[in-house]
Structure 1
Amino acid sequence: MRIAFRSDVGRIRLVNEDRAWANVQDNHYGIAIVADGMGGHLAGEVASQLAVDTFQEVLASTKIAELAPEERHTFIRKAILQANDVVYDMASRNDQYHNMGTTVVALLAYPDSGVIGHIGDSRAYIWTGGTFTQLTEDHTLVNELTKHGQISAEEAANHPRRNVLTRALGTDEEVEVDVIDFAWKPDDVLLLCSDGLSNMVTDEQMQAVIQAQDMDIDSKTEKLLEMALQAGGDDNITVVLLHHAVDTEQEG
């Protein structure tokens, strides 16, 4: 399994409030997380960093290779809910962090399957069998309006409130985590990203990069980031790619 990840402040923002981390454990198990923070001065980057740090702390006390399939759900939900507790507590005790929060999308990837936990609008995609599919569902106002037929997909793409979240990590004492199973096989690719990529680069453009035969995984990560910047770079951009390959080389 090979992993590459990159994060960039973009062309407009002064601070990168995205955080990401990814790793291969025991040569067979991929772990990754992307968090896109929000809040007042510095609060967004604090929230996203706390989320990633807490996820890693929970992970450090767990041997993911020994988790049964049903235990994987429990683990990823527990890790994300623990991060929610940490961020919410920090925001509650410090006025400068009032109402800070973050999106989160995290995964555990095993040799033939995996599990994803997420809150917010950072996304997970999979390229498998020649098709590119979004695995997560955005927790946004615009997605709710689209699902209920109140606006079209075209209107959603340019809606003035498309960044309004209906669910975030750390803003409330209790939050619901969506947990998704996926199957994958050799040569499949998983993509995790913040909306700085998905709002600027179409699914078709992302698929074209991911399935390209003339680039390695690190080059593909760089290319996706570059495309978001060329499209305007309106937001922080974070990209994580996991390639189901025998080679375990990691780029970060």
Structure 2
Amino acid sequence: MNRSDIGRIRMANEDRSWAGLTDGGLTVAIVADGMGGHQAGDVASQLAVDAFREEVESAAAGMTEEEARELLRRAIRKANEVVFDMASRNEQYHNMGTTVVAALFVEEQRLIVGHIGDSRAYRISEGGITLLTEDHTLVNELVRSGQISYEEAAHHPRRNVLTRALGTDSETELELQALPWAAGDILLLCSDGLSGMVSDEDIRSTISAEGSSLEEKAESLIQQALAAGGDDNITVVLLQSGSGTDGEE
């Protein structure tokens, strides 16, 4: 299921998401967090989600892992082409772009995740919470090179500067990985409006709480991000193995 909130500061919601089953029964999800002036960010994220969805909607379940990787790669490449083309042809959309994090389930044991930017994917299981993606940000590069600490990164004034985005160039580098998946695991895709405001441990405890539905867990995460300040748009997609969903934000 997916939920999105404008937050307490922004004048528009530039996040877009979709989660559901393709016509062929494949479970797919995507979150895009747009950027650009004069509402170009919401144009970029909507174009990206629409192009991605169009590319995957006829895909059938039962494909091999390699076929699934190629499908995800092709869908995100198509989204990049569409956003870049619109930005190139319209001055008001010049330099617009978007993050993207997307996932699809292959059989019951494997998960394919692709991302560009700082929207994240997490796996929550009995063993705890695992961040599956690595932020494509200037601050993360500084952490990796040892110039600043992880704690300093959380409050760095340039923590939102991306080193990679979808739609800003004719070609963009996608990070793609195949991961193991177990029954009962929950996948979280989110924009940085959640991950930048709510700690990984609070995310884990909320999603692991017994007796609440995925909808209630997602709503609780949104409310925690708002209570922490709601500095950005907040988008949450939760998927559990064996529980396909549909719907749009």
1:49 aligns with 2:49: no
Q: How many residues are paired up? A: 247
Quickly say closer, same or farther: Cα 1:250–1:80, change in 2 above 3 A.
closer
- Picking from 174, 177, 180, the partner of 1:177 is 174
Partner of 2:139, secondary structure, is: helix
The two structures have a TM-score, normalised by structure 1, of 0.94
Pairwise CA RMSD of aligned residues?
1.5
Which residue pairs with 1:158 in the alignment?
A: 155
TM-score (norm 2): 0.95
SS of the counterpart of 2:188? strand
Structure 2 residue aligned with 1:67: 63
What letter matches 2:85 in structure 1?
Answer: D
- Residue 244 of structure 1: CA displacement? 1.8
Alignment of structure 1 residues 31-46 onto 2, 5 Å: 31-46=28-43
Instruction: Indicate the residue corresponding to 1:210 in structure 2.
Output: 207
The match for 2:109 among 98, 108, 112 is: 112
Q: Distance in 1 between matches of 2:137 and 2:159?
A: 7
2:235 corresponds in structure 1 to 238
- Displaced runs of 4 or more, over 6 A: none
- CA 1:27 to 1:128, structure 2 compared with 1: closer, same or farther past 3 Å? farther
Is the aligned partner of 1:85 residue 2:55? no
Q: Write the deviation string for residues 112-164 of structure 1: whole angstroms up to 9, x where unpaired.
A: 11101110000000012331000000000000000010000111000000000
Alpha-carbon separation, structure 1, partners of 2:247 and 2:174 = 29
1:193 to 180, 190, 194: 190
Question: Are 1:104 and 1:118, in contact at CA under 8 Å, matched by a contact in 2?
Answer: yes
Q: Structure 1: 5+ residue runs without aligned partners? A: none
* 1:30–1:242 CA contact under 8 A, matched in 2: no
Instruction: Give me the whole-angstrom Cα distance separating, in 2, the residues matched to 1:71 and 1:131.
Output: 30
Once the 2 structures are TM-superposed, how far is the Cα of residue 232 of structure 1 from its aligned partner?
0.3
Contact 2:22 2:59 in 1 (8 A): no
1:88 Cα deviation from its structure 2 partner: 0.4
Mapping of 1:100-139 within 5 angstroms? 100-110=96-106, 111-139=108-136
C-alpha displacement of 1:24: 3.1
Q: Judge conservation of contact 2:23–2:58 (CA < 8 Å) in 1.
A: no
